[in-house]
């Protein structure tokens, strides 16, 4: 095929595909700027764009609280995953001790158990211990991730052991070697794992839906889902709420997209 | 000297066990023990009051064999997988091939980011936006169909259209993930292979058939398995795409995960729901083992 013609095809197809990817976001935002009356006129652009829907969602519902809840849950789980997963990854990669392989295989094996299977025992457990409808109840299943352990172990394995020995000779304790020498050296991996963990917990739906009972404990996805249910056909409000849930995620994504995409590549292709 | 080394090894082991203490406790009590507990729960008629719990043995498993809704949800889940996974693979590979042909690196990055963006957005919000766009009377999709001179469709309330529609939304959301994997796989193939084959007179199709496809095999298996497991656990989109009729219309979009949720937290039949999760675990285990077999098989050139 003619070279110019084929590159014309490539760009046309890619642009069409990209439009299909972007359009739902554009439509969501356009709808969120329309008044209730305009909603059903099937007009492409809002005649009189208004931020009234956003005002109503932000000040007339518990949306800010849900946003905050998600922020708390996602931040705490991310901090915990980054610390413990790298500690375990470091230990499995760089220390020698009996039972090492057994422990690694055991942790990896947990990846095969579907969340659905664990949710029922977690729920029974949460009822017994009074964790239902608490922050602890929402976040405890996500405090560590087997996938993260696997990822961090890969990274620590590539660190030269001489560096760690140098730290030991300087008189650092084993924890000091991990925290002061090894941990700062795997920053790219931490960035990828951190963003993934944050987004995963920010977007989580099934477990929070099970464990949350009152409107003020809802996380953002649960809030949006149940709010939409309660609001019935108030699409202008639903689209404003969805925009408020989606836009921060997209901003974070476009800032960190290199790390995020590298994280996917790392796990999928080299793993 | 020997004793000194031994004590060093012992010190290292001691540190290791200290580091692993909390994480191992987590994996044992939050991930492994509950999996066994689900097995055990599936043998009981569960009640919050311990004195009213009844051991029923394998009764729930017998019940599963005669539950038409479970059969329906399994059949639907199979359909989702059969439509969704190939669609994801073909579209993902296609877009990755197109992106790979883009020579300007910045432009390629921009496209890749656009395709990936839906993957990171909350599935709940995505589901609500699509259910608005797909609505029968006021949906923009039907407006587009009208402009093309095609009849309007009630995508989410028509029992024969609802499942493919949900699948399409899920594929839309996951596509970027596949694109990124395939693109990385493509870029890992050494250029020399293509050049050598070109000198031997191979055309584009033969390059694709004999170099690209076999070398992408591990990525394909990985994507297919991740995709299959994803569809087996499909929940959020199904629930939120038709909120008032979850799993509907007429159970046409009901998935195993949603059925488990309904049994466990709608009817509080925790024992029966646990039995279904054991079945789901069995299926996922099988798929993972097949994946390991396929991936460890050598690629032949």
pLDDT of residue A190 exceeding 50: yes
Q: Is the pLDDT of residue B298 over 70?
A: no
Residue B160, min C-alpha distance to chain A (Å):
24
Is B27 within 8 Å of A96 when comparing Cβ atoms?
Answer: no
Q: How far apart are CA A98 and CA B17, in angstroms?
A: 10
Q: Is B190 within 8 Å of B107 (Cβ atoms)?
A: no
Q: Taking residues A182-200, report their average pLDDT.
A: 90
Residues whose CB falls within 8 Å of the CB of residue B97, separated by 6 or more in sequence, listed in order:
B182, B186
pLDDT for residue B2 is more than 60:
no
Share of chain B above pLDDT 90, in %: 65
Give A94 to chain B, closest Cα distance, Å. Answer: 9
What pLDDT sits at residue B245?
81
> Residue B108 is encoded by which pair of tokens?
């390629």
Instruction: Say what the pTM is.
Output: 0.91
Answer whether A246 sits within 8 Å of B121, measured CB to CB.
Answer: yes
Predicted pLDDT of residue A153: 94
Both tokens assigned to B189: 């193939």
Q: Which of B17, B120, B233 lies at the smallest CB-CB distance from A116?
A: B233
- For residue range A12-42, list pLDDT tens digits in order: 999 999 999 999 999 999 999 998 888 877 7
Beta bridge partners of B54: B45
Inter-chain touch B261–A96, beta carbons under 8 Å: no
Task: Please give the mean pLDDT across all residues of chain B.
Answer: 90
Tell me which of B93 and B295 has the higher pLDDT. B93
Question: What ipTM goes with this model?
Answer: 0.91
Question: Cβ(A188)–Cβ(A179) under 8 Å?
Answer: no
Nearest CA in chain A to B131: A235
Using the Cβ of A151 and the Cβ atoms of chain B, whether some distance falls under 8 Å is answered with no
Q: Which of B19, B137, B257 sits opposite A116 (nearest CB)?
A: B257
CA distance A119 to A236: 34
A44 CA: distance to closest CA in chain B (Å) = 9
Q: Above 50 in pLDDT, residue B144?
A: yes
- Whether the per-residue pLDDT at B39 is higher than 50: the answer is yes
Q: Is the pLDDT of residue A138 over 70?
A: yes
């Amino acid at each position: 095929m003619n070279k110019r013609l084929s590159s014309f095809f490539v760009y046309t197809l890619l642009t069409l595909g990209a439009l299909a990817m972007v359009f739902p976001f554009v439509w969501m935002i356009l709808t969120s700027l329309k008044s209730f009356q305009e909603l059903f006129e099937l007009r492409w652009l809002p005649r009189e764009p208004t931020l009234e829907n956003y005002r109503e969602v932000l000040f007339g519902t518990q949306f800010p609280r849900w946003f905050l809840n998600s922020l708390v849950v996602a931040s705490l789980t991310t901090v915990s995953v980054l610390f413990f997963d790298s500690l375990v990854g470091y230990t499995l990669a760089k220390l020698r001790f009996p039972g090492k392989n057994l422990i690694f295989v055991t942790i990896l094996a947990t990846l095969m158990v579907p969340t659905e299977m664990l949710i029922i025992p977690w729920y029974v457990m949460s009822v017994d211990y009074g964790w239902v409808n608490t922050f602890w109840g929402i976040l405890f299943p996500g405090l560590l991730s087997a996938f993260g352990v696997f990822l961090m172990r890969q990274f620590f394995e590539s660190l030269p052991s001489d560096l760690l020995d140098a730290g030991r000779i300087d008189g650092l304790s084993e924890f000091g070697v991990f925290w002061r020498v090894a941990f700062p050296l795997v920053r790219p991996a931490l960035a990828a794992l951190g963003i993934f963990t944050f987004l995963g917990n920010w977007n989580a739906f099934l477990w929070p839906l099970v464990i949350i009972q009152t409107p003020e404990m809802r996380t953002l996805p649960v809030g949006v889902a149940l709010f939409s249910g309660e609001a019935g056909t108030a699409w202008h409000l639903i689209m404003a709420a969805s925009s408020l849930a989606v836009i921060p995620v997209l901003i974070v994504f476009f800032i960190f997209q290199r790390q995020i995409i590298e994280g996917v590549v790392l796990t999928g292709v080299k793993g | 000297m020997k004793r000194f080394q031994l004590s060093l090894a012992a010190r290292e082991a001691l540190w290791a066990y200290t580091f692993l203490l909390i994480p191992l406790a987590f994996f044992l009590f939050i991930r492994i023990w509950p999996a066994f507990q689900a097995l055990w729960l599936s043998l009981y008629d569960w009640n919050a009051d311990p004195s009213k719990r009844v051991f029923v043995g394998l009764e729930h498993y017998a019940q599963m064999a005669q539950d038409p809704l479970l059969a329906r949800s399994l059949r639907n889940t199979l359909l989702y997988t059969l439509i969704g996974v190939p669609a994801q693979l073909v579209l993902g590979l296609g877009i990755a091939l197109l992106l790979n042909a883009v020579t300007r690196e910045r432009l390629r990055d921009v496209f890749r980011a656009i395709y990936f963006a839906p993957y990171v957005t909350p599935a709940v919000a995505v589901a609500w936006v699509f259910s608005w766009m797909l609505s029968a009377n006021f949906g923009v999709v039907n407006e587009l169909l009208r402009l093309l001179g095609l009849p309007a469709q009630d995508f989410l309330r028509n029992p024969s259209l609802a499942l493919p529609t949900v699948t399409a939304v899920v594929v839309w959301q996951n596509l970027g993930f596949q694109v990124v994997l395939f693109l990385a796989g493509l870029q890992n193939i050494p250029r020399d292979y293509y050049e050598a084959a070109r000198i031997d007179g191979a055309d584009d199709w033969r390059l694709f058939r004999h170099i690209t496809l076999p070398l992408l095999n591990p990525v394909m298996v990985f994507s297919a398995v991740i995709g299959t497991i994803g569809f087996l656990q499909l929940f959020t989109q199904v629930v939120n795409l038709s909120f008032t009729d979850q799993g509907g219309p007429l159970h046409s979009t009901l998935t195993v995960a949603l059925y488990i949720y309904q049994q466990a937290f709608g009817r509080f039949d925790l024992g029966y729901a646990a039995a279904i999760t054991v079945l789901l675990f069995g299926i996922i285990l099988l798929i993972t083992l097949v994946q390991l077999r396929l991936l460890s098989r050598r690629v032949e050139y």
